[in-house]
Amino acid sequence: MRMYRALMTGLVAAGMLWSGTAMGQTNVGCDPQTKVNSPEKVEGQVIKVDHAANKVTIREASGKTYEFHADKETLQNLKIGDRLEAKLRATPNC
């Protein structure tokens, strides 16, 4: 009976410690106060493709540049100089 009690106490303590750590974490990128500076749609020319960071930089005809995250499959087909139309996705609900 003592072994059972010791085992249950250890499991409960471990569960409390683990859940306390998980509850203390915040969801990165889910700040409702953050303002997005990118328009919903950007048309322009690819000026930079960063495969390591999964980012693509686009320059509009006006000269303004925007950087977007993209998946690896999308970046494989892009090269500098390509014309591109990018649409901003809605942020996930947090």
Q: What per-residue confidence (pLDDT) applies to 2?
A: 73
Residue 94 lies in a domain: no
- Buried b vs exposed e over 42-65: b needs ≥16 C-beta within 10 Å? bebebeebeeeeeebbbeeeeeee
- How many structural domains compose the chain? 1
Q: What per-residue confidence (pLDDT) applies to 7?
A: 73
Q: Are 48 and 79 in contact (CB under 8 A)?
A: no
Residue 52 lies in a domain: yes
Structural domain of residue 46, as residue ranges? 41-87
Per-residue pLDDT tens digits for 6-50:
777 766 666 555 555 444 444 555 555 545 566 778 899 999 999
Residue 28 lies in a domain: no
Give the whole-angstrom CA distance, residue 80 versus residue 94: 35
Residue 8 lies in a domain: no
Q: What per-residue confidence (pLDDT) applies to 46?
A: 93
Residue 64 lies in a domain: yes
In this structure, the number of other CB atoms found within 10 A of the CB of residue 86 comes to: 19
Q: What per-residue confidence (pLDDT) applies to 52?
A: 92
Q: What per-residue confidence (pLDDT) applies to 8?
A: 74
Residue 76 lies in a domain: yes
Residue 65 lies in a domain: yes
The CATH number of the domain holding residue 50 is 2.40.50
Residue 2 lies in a domain: no
pTM value? 0.55
Q: Token match 């996705």: residue? A: 89
DSSP string, 38-85: S-SEEEEEEEEEETTTTEEEEEETTS-EEEEE--HHHHHT--TT-EEE
